Amino acid sequence: MPQKTDLDVSPYWDDWELGDDFYRVLYRPSFAVQARELSSAQSILQNQIEQFGSHMFKEGSIVIPGHIGYDSTL
């Protein structure tokens, strides 16, 4: 479900928009990482996960059987 909180306010200053046509955040070497850069990277990742989930699953559908499996030979 999409997030409805406005994150373009203090302390986040997340100004990333889907319509901006970019999925890259650049960091300057030898400078501290800013909260805005981290918030933008998080928003981009959240959007990608949300788009994948809405493509693969119908909203409100139950995932059955819902058990966890793993391959211990890896």
- Digit-coded pLDDT (tens) for 57-73: 888 877 777 788 888 99
Tally of domains in the chain: 1
pTM of the model: 0.58
> CA neighbours within 13 Å on the CB side: how many for 43?
24
State which residues form the domain around 61.
1-66
73 within a domain of the structure (yes/no) = no
Coil, helix or strand at residue 51:
helix
Q: Report which secondary-structure segment, H or E, holds 37.
A: helix 35-56
pLDDT tens string 15-70: 777 787 777 777 777 889 888 888 888 988 999 999 998 888 888 877 777 788 88
Chain-centroid distance of CA 72 in Å reads 29
Q: What proportions of the chain, in percent to the nearest 5, are helix, strand and coil?
A: 35, 0, 65
Tokens of 9: 């306010």
Amino acid at 35: A
